[in-house]
Homo-oligomer: A and B are copies of this chain.
Amino acid sequence: SDMAFGIRELAKRLAHIRLKMNVQHVFLLAKAHDATLIANTREVAHWLLTRDQHYKVYVEDTLEHNRVFDAEGLLASNHSFEGRLKFWTNKLCAEKPQTFDIVLALGGDGTVLYASWLFQRVVPPVLAFSLGSLGFLTKFDYDGFQNTLSRAFKEGITVSLRLRFEATVMRSQVHNGDSARDLVEQLIGEESEDNHTHKPDGTHNILNEVVVDRGPNPTMSTIELFGDDEHFTTIQADGICVSTPTGSTAYNLAAGGSLCHPDNPVVLVTAICAHTLSFRPIILPDTIVLRAGVPYDARTSSWASFDGRERVELRPGDYVTISASRFPFPSVLPLDRKSKDWVDSISRTLNWNSRQRQKSFKEWN
């Protein structure tokens, strides 16, 4: 058992990886519909191109002819920039993610989620600048980005390998309305050897959570939940939220789940407005394979969404598998106070004050 605890320590250390940087290809990411962010993107691009002539800077291809970004003007300002300002496409992210040494995200936590969406397989280290207050994933102030980047490129960075889920929609190959079929039988019963009952229909690597809910239906959803080869229970609720530790501060918290340190190798399953008294948030090992599906005799469809995007209809008989992804998300930690990073972000969010007492709402006595 001493060995067991030694391995836990080891696992913890492996979740934080220190990287020396040999930066050449820098990927810039911002929501491209916001004029302020486009100006910021230009500012960072200009600084990088000026700083080192070996740097190549990639910006979103929609900026190529954007008036605010003014690529032409940028290139004209310094002839050494020629050939070093490049334009990325979604396709390039999908096919050649290894091209990039680092992703610099400008914006809020939503921009970091967008980075996770763009890089569905290998993800370059993501260093996120906040334009407003710091968030759970945006750990650097935009003000002073020059110092931050100079120091990071010189001293190296530490990344926290954040667990992502791989979620696959499985479509029932049975004619709709065949309510004699039984999802439980198909997945863990006598039919579980039959590979023809369902076909995959799209896989998503997600950083925060998979939600299966009632979507536009005014009535509740009925969801069958399976863990490995067990049928856990039938949930009657608005939906369920299956969250990574990183996502624990997002929808999971709104649904009543616990805050969870991102290094914990766990999966958080929380019902959304359960219509029974017998469900409580559950913390499972990240080695489990979860399946959440719509029973064949359900009166309505449910909807799956992935990191709050891409809502997909699940018809009766369909399900989603959720398991730990082989492609974690390397989030660059603050250069200082690395080990306190999580507590700092929790304190900011919950208005914890580590020195001053909080005002209690109970003033009595």
Residues of A within 8 A of B (CB): 1-5, 7-12, 14-15, 108-110, 113, 133, 135-136, 161, 184, 208, 211, 215-216, 218-220, 222, 227-228, 230-234, 236-238, 245, 248-251, 253-261, 263-266, 268, 272-287, 303, 305, 307-309, 311, 324, 326-328, 339-340, 343, 346-347, 349-355, 357-365
Q: Are A361 and B2 in contact (CB under 8 A)?
A: no
Q: Are A357 and B222 in contact (CB under 8 A)?
A: yes
Q: Are B216 and A216 in contact (CB under 8 A)?
A: yes
A174 to chain B, nearest CB (A): 20
Partner of A352, one of B113, B161, B232, B354: B232
Question: Closest chain B residue to A282 by CB distance?
Answer: B259
Q: Are A275 and B236 in contact (CB under 8 A)?
A: no
Q: Are A347 and B233 in contact (CB under 8 A)?
A: yes
Q: Are B1 and A328 in contact (CB under 8 A)?
A: yes
Q: What separation, in Å, do the CA atoms of A194 and B17 have in the docked complex? A: 33
Partner of A8, one of B220, B287, B354: B287
Q: Are B275 and A278 in contact (CB under 8 A)?
A: no
Q: Are B280 and A259 in contact (CB under 8 A)?
A: yes
Q: What separation, in Å, do the CA atoms of A353 and B339 have in the docked complex? A: 34
Question: Closest chain B residue to A309 by CB distance?
Answer: B218
Q: Are B273 and A273 in contact (CB under 8 A)?
A: yes
